[in-house]
């Protein structure tokens, strides 16, 4: 009788509770508290002051002042975001650029991960090391290096010109193409690693069984390998898509003046316009845009594991 086998209540000492509370305390201090502060600023009004918004809460002024401050908060900044086309166009453009780059990263990353997983056992740690190796150089320097490669008189154009493939330099730098190249290059390892992990676990005899049952290898790839590596594909795509949506450095350095991404919009709002409340509202909306697909994904995962369990 399963019902009768209720586990006896576990007696936890203070240490036990502390251990369980640790991740929650961490999230509280480094995620929830900053988020609430940003959320509060997004409901404030811009002001010429330090800090540059009102109201500011100071509990020493008593509860009445606190209540007055609360009544001053409003959703005005969010309304403003819907009124200026710049904002929703930035969001849309960011999501599009991130989605296209994620797809391109998957196209390039899948063969790499597949080849690594099929490489001789002895070679795999080396290949893994090579994938991680770029992280040893600063991200900023690596993105700067692409300027040298992509600019009109850069390495790529010089190579193509000397090969006679083109007559005049290609304009790549300061276009969306350069942004795609930058994102794909920077985030490739984040897709390759989880994908490699799921492909490496794949039992080779499954492919032999498929072939034995009359399935040619290319078809077995779609019927066996891809479905079984789906968790790796999804995890990898999220790891690329989420940071790519909010990316600032790559569009700022490689993109042009007409490359619209939310990270840049936020920067301008915060540093150039010194409008902390609006930039906070931009950040809160960005968070919502990113949280929704993650929640959907988590739900999906849960359903899958329930179905299997």
Partner 1 sequence: MPWENPDHPPFIEFRNVTKKFGDFTAVKNLSLKIYEKEFFALLGGSGCGKTTLMRMLAGFETPTSGQIFLDGQDLAGIPPYRRPSNMMFQSYALFPHMSVEKNIAFGLKQDKMPTSEVEARVAEMLQLTKLEQFAKRKPHQLSGGQRQRVALARSLAKRPKVLLLDEPLGALDRKLREETQFELMNLQEELKMTFLIVTHDQEEAMTVADRIAVMDKGELVQVATPAEIYEAPNCKFVADFIGDVNLIEAKVTEKTDALTRMTSVVDGFALECDQATDASVGETVWYAIRPEKVRIAEGNVEPGVVNHIGGVVWDIAYLGDVSIIHAKVGEDDHDTLRSTFANVSRIVEKPITWDDNVVLTFDRDAGVILRG
Q: How many CA atoms lie within 13 A of 160 on its CB side?
A: 17
Nearer to partner 1, 27 or 230 (CB): 230
3-state secondary structure of 54: strand
* Residue 116 contacts partner 1 per CB under 8 A: no
Please give the structure tokens belonging to residue 295.
Answer: 């929640």
Nearer to partner 1, 84 or 203 (CB): 203
Give least dist CB 2 to partner 1, A: 17
Give the total of residues touching partner 1 (CB under 8 A).
18
Angle between helices 230-245 and 85-118 (to 10 degrees): 140
* Residue 83 contacts partner 1 per CB under 8 A: no
Q: Residue from 214, 257, 288, 305 that binds partner 1 (CB under 8 A)? A: 214
Strands (E), 167-304: none
Rounded Cα gap, residues 120 and 115, in angstroms: 10
Nearer to partner 1, 5 or 307 (CB): 307
Give least dist CB 305 to partner 1, A: 12
Asked if residue 200 has a cis previous peptide bond (ω within 30° of 0), the answer is no
Nearer to partner 1, 67 or 122 (CB): 122
Rounded Cα gap, residues 213 and 224, in angstroms: 13
Q: Looking only at residues 220 through 249 of this chain, which bind partner 1 when binding is defined by CB under 8 A? A: 224, 227-228
Nearer to partner 1, 150 or 224 (CB): 224
Nearer to partner 1, 171 or 207 (CB): 207
Give least dist CB 230 to partner 1, A: 8
* Residue 215 contacts partner 1 per CB under 8 A: yes
Question: Could you tell me which stretch among 22-30, 87-95, 219-227, 253-261 binds partner 1 (CB under 8 A)?
Answer: 219-227
Give least dist CB 204 to partner 1, A: 9
Rounded Cα gap, residues 233 and 219, in angstroms: 19
Question: What is the contact mask toward partner 1 in residues 279 to 308, using x (rule: CB under 8 A)?
Answer: -----------------------------x
Nearer to partner 1, 123 or 206 (CB): 206
3-state secondary structure of 53: strand
DSSP 225: I
Question: Could you tell me which stretch among 34-42, 68-76, 217-225, 281-289 binds partner 1 (CB under 8 A)?
Answer: 217-225
Vertex 9 angle, CA 8 and 15, to 5°: 135
Q: Spell 237-263 as b/e; 16+ CB within 10 A means b.
A: bbbbbbbbbbbeebbebbbeeebbbbb
Angle between helices 276-308 and 33-42 (to 10 degrees): 130
Nearer to partner 1, 64 or 205 (CB): 205
Handedness of CA 228, 230, 235, 240 (dihedral sign): positive
Question: What is the contact mask toward partner 1 in residues 174 to 213, using x (rule: CB under 8 A)?
Answer: -----------------------------x-xx-xxxxxx
Residue ranges that bind partner 1, judged by CB under 8 A: 203, 205-206, 208-217, 219, 224, 227-228, 308
């Amino acid at each position: 009788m399963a019902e009768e086998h209720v586990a006896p209540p576990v007696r936890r000492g203070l240490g036990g509770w502390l251990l369980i509370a640790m991740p929650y305390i961490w999230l509280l201090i480094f995620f929830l508290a900053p988020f609430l502060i940003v959320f509060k600023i997004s409901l404030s009004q811009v002001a010429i002051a330090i800090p540059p918004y009102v109201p500011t809460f100071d509990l020493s002024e008593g509860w009445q002042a606190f209540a007055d401050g609360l009544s001053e908060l409003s959703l005005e900044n969010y309304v403003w975001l819907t009124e200026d086309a710049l904002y929703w166009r930035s969001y849309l453009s960011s999501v599009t650029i991130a989605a296209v780059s994620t797809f391109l990263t998957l196209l390039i990353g899948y063969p790499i991960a597949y080849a690594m997983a099929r490489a001789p056992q002895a070679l795999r740690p080396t290949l893994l090391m090579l994938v991680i190796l770029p992280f040893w150089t600063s991200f900023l320097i690596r993105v700067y290096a692409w300027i040298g490669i992509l600019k009109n008189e850069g390495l790529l154009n010089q190579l193509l010109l000397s090969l006679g493939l083109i007559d005049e330099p290609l304009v790549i730098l300061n276009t969306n193409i350069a942004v795609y190249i930058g994102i794909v290059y920077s985030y490739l390892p984040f897709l390759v690693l989880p994908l490699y992990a799921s492909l490496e676990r794949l039992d080779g005899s499954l492919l032999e069984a498929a072939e034995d049952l009359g399935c040619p290898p290319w078809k077995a790839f779609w019927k066996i390998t891809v479905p079984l590596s789906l968790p790796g594909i999804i995890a990898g795509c999220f790891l690329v898509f989420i940071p790519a949506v909010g990316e600032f450095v790559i569009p700022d350095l490689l993109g042009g003046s007409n490359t619209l991404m939310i990270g840049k919009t936020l920067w301008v709002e915060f540093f150039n316009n010194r409008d902390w409340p609006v930039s906070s509202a931009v950040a809160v909306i960005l968070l919502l845009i990113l949280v929704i697909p993650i929640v959907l994904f988590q739900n999906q995962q849960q359903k899958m594991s329930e179905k299997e369990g």
